[in-house]
Amino acid sequence: MITITNKTDCCGCGACASRCVTSCITMAPDEEGFNYPLVDTDKCIHCGLCERVCPLLHKPQPHEILAVIGCKNKNEAVRFVSSSGGFFSLAAEKSWDVRGQSSGRPLTTTGTLDISLSQAAMQ
């Protein structure tokens, strides 16, 4: 169960309240108007889910970056309307050509690209 004793331990994101299975957490403003979780302890079943999703209780751990691969679509018009540099359009088009479908998941379970893209289309 989330218990805020120090406000610096809570950013007010509300993830705990969203995750609570019994909806017993409400976000309530303090005297300065910042929201903090308040738990109705009578409804809490002590499942611990609120603590598991809290980003301040589980800060990201640094990890080694194995590789960084970047690419972008050479077609400026596609890039202009894309949020990923137009890469997904290329992957989806190629996937469509190969299998007659675009699944939205060009990556295999091993994380490798399941399709080959022509270098002329990317840079």
108: its two tokens: 């295999």
Nearest distance from residue 103's CB to ligand SF4, in Å?
Answer: 33
State the virtual CA torsion across 85, 121, 109, 55 in degrees, nearest 10: -10
What is the C-alpha to C-alpha distance for residues 49 and 66, in angstroms, rounded to an integer? Answer: 31
Cβ neighbors of 107 (< 8 A, separation 6 or more) are: 113, 114
Chain residues in the site for ligand SF4 (CB under 6 A): 1-2, 10-16, 19-22, 24-25, 37, 39, 44-50, 53-56
The nearer residue to ligand SF4, 32 or 76, going by C-beta atoms, is 32
Nearest distance from residue 64's CB to ligand SF4, in Å?
Answer: 27
The nearer residue to ligand SF4, 43 or 74, going by C-beta atoms, is 43
The amino acid sitting at 98 is: V
CB 26 within 8 A of CB 37: yes
Nearest distance from residue 14's CB to ligand SF4, in Å?
Answer: 5
Nearest distance from residue 48's CB to ligand SF4, in Å?
Answer: 5
98: its two tokens: 């190969």
The nearer residue to ligand SF4, 46 or 65, going by C-beta atoms, is 46
The nearer residue to ligand SF4, 14 or 85, going by C-beta atoms, is 14
